Amino acid sequence: MQRALFLTQRFYMIKKTIRLGLISLLASAPTFAANDSGDASAGRGKTEICAGCHGEEGNAAAPIFPKLAGQQLSYLEKQLKAFRSRERVDPTMNAMTQSLSDADIKDIAAYYNRQQITLENREQDHRGEKIYRSGNPVNGVPSCVGCHGPTGAGNPASGYPALHGQFSAYLSKTLLDYKNGDRSNDPNLVMRSIASRLTEAEINAVANYASGLYQ
C-alpha cells in the first residue's frame, strides 16, 4: 500500500516537473527565435565527415548510429555541446566535437534540421502505444505525448527531440542508458526517472511504437 502511494506521488511529481519545464522553456521561446539558427549551406560542408556514421543527409544506415535528419535545432545543438564538454561521454563523438566552435555547431544543427528523415515502417505495437499515449500511473510513468508530441515530432521550443523515424533499436538503447545511468544529461533527471520505472520489455515496446509514428 505504501509503495503504491509512493509511486503515485512520484508519478505526479514527474508530471509536475515536465509541466513546469515546458512552461519555463516556452516562456523563453522568443529567445530561441531571436538567436541566429546557423547557416545550413555552411553546415553541409562541415558534416561530410559525419556521413560515415550518420549517413548522407543525416539518415544513418546502421541502427547503432542515430538518424539526425529533421531533428530539433536546439536538441542537436545541446547534444553537440554536451559531447564537446564531455558532459555526455562517447569517445568518438567527444573527439569529433573538440574542434567545433559554437558557430560550427549552429551550422551543423541547421543543416541536419532541414533534412528529411526516412521514416520506419513498423507494425502497430499496442503495448507501446498504451505507454506512449497514456503512460503507466501504477509505476509512476507519465505519457510520452506531453514532451514528444502525439506524432513523435518533439517540441522545438522546449528542445525535446523528435522520435518518429528514429531506429527503434537506438531509441531502446537510449532509454536503457537512461535507466542504467549511462546517460545523464537530461534536465531535472526527467528521463532517468521515467526510464528507471520501465521494464526492458516496455522500453522495447514504446521504442518500437515511437519509431513508426508519422506526422
Known binding residues for heme c are 50, 53-54, 93, 144, 147-148, 191
- Three-state secondary structure readout of 32-91: HHHCCCCCHHHHHHHCHHHHHHHCHHHCCCCCCCCCCCCCCHHHHHHHHHHHHHCCCCCH
Q: Which residues are annotated as a binding site?
A: 50, 53-54, 93, 144, 147-148, 191
Torsion of CA 18, 190, 142, 125, to 10 degrees: 120
**Identity of residue 124:** Q
Residue whose C-alpha cell reads 538567436 in the numeric block? 35
136-152: burial string, b at 16+ Cβ within 10 Å, e else: beebbbbbbebbbbeeb
C-alpha span between 61 and 56 (Å, rounded): 9
Residue 111 in contact with residue 94, Cβ under 8 Å? no
Which set of grid coordinates corresponds to residue 93?
563523438
